[in-house]
Amino acid sequence: MIVREQPGSFLLVKQHDHALASGEFARHWARKPWPLEPTLYAVAQHDVAWQGPDAVVRWNEEAGRPYSFMDYPSEPKVRAYAAGLDLLEAEDPYAACLCSMHYETLVRRSKSEAEARFGEAELSRQRGLQAAMSGEELESLEYNLRFLKLCDGLSLFVCLNEPGQNEHPPPYPEGFVLDGQEFEPVWEDRGTLRLHPNPFSEPFDLAIPYLLIGDDGREMESSTLRLRVTS
């Protein structure tokens, strides 16, 4: 879950719904990645592994709040990661390699033994997948990983910030940068966002489902975050 804390409540966005929004940022990016379809698929599906864990709200009793993707217990998290990557590998090996690289970099600095084992297993997966790639596909991986992370961060920004707020989301505290170009989110109003400079080919709309629960864990509302991204 992505958890936005509010007075007396928590706004929850499922990780897969956030990833689909990441895919919208990617799909409307003016500079198209290559290979196009596998990369767009990877961006939109990079959190498919969270569909199982996010099926129910798991409460962190110690913290008095729902678990988020930042503090979710390591063992069930990496089991879900591995299962999700297995599904992606069966659908699109290039996309699976990108998503594996994304997850492996996220756990690289973890002190958890489970996450360390997962990281080693994913490096092995990547070597196997890359052995079947062309030279051009291999050369594209690092740029496309950075592109995936940028779109991931932009979607997290939308999910975690109230309109008008500009906090950089974890795990991207340095902001939104791609190959030396920094992109600054600018709120036009509560329902309209743009990036400066503009990287998009056209304006587009985001619709991200969310669940609102009270600080006692009681479900209060299900609705949708709606946002216009201008170009």
Please check the confidence at residue 52 and state whether its pLDDT lies above 90: yes
Nearest CA to 162 among 1, 51, 49, 7? 7
Which of 218, 194, 213 lies closest to 14, judged by CA?
Answer: 213
Q: Which pLDDT band, with edges at 50, 70 and 90, does 140 fall under?
A: very high
**pLDDT reported for residue 170:** 80
Average pLDDT value for residue range 136-164? 97
**Mean pLDDT along residues 175-183:** 94
Number of domains the chain is built from: 1
Print the domain residue range for 73. Answer: 2-229
Task: Quote the tokens at residue 58.
Answer: 């798991």
pLDDT at 107: 94
Q: CA separation (Å) from 127 to 96, 102, 153, 160, 191? A: 12, 14, 26, 34, 43
Q: Is the pLDDT of residue 112 over 90?
A: yes
CB 229 within 8 A of CB 219: no
pLDDT at residue 17, as a whole number: 98
Judge contact between 221 and 212, C-beta under 8 A.
yes
Per-residue pLDDT, 45? 98
Give the pLDDT band (50/70/90) at residue 173: confident
Whether the per-residue pLDDT at 169 is higher than 90: the answer is no
The size of the chain, in residues, is: 231
Residue entry with tokens 């196997």 = 128
Using DSSP, state whether 120 is helix, strand or coil: helix
What does the pLDDT read at residue 83? 97
> pLDDT band at 44, cuts 50/70/90?
very high
- Token readout for 24 is 């919208």
pLDDT at 174: 83
Whose CA is closest to 44, among 27, 25, 19? 19
Q: What is the mean pLDDT of residues 9-32?
A: 98
pTM of the entire predicted model: 0.96
Q: How far apart are CA 22 and CA 172, in angstroms?
A: 14
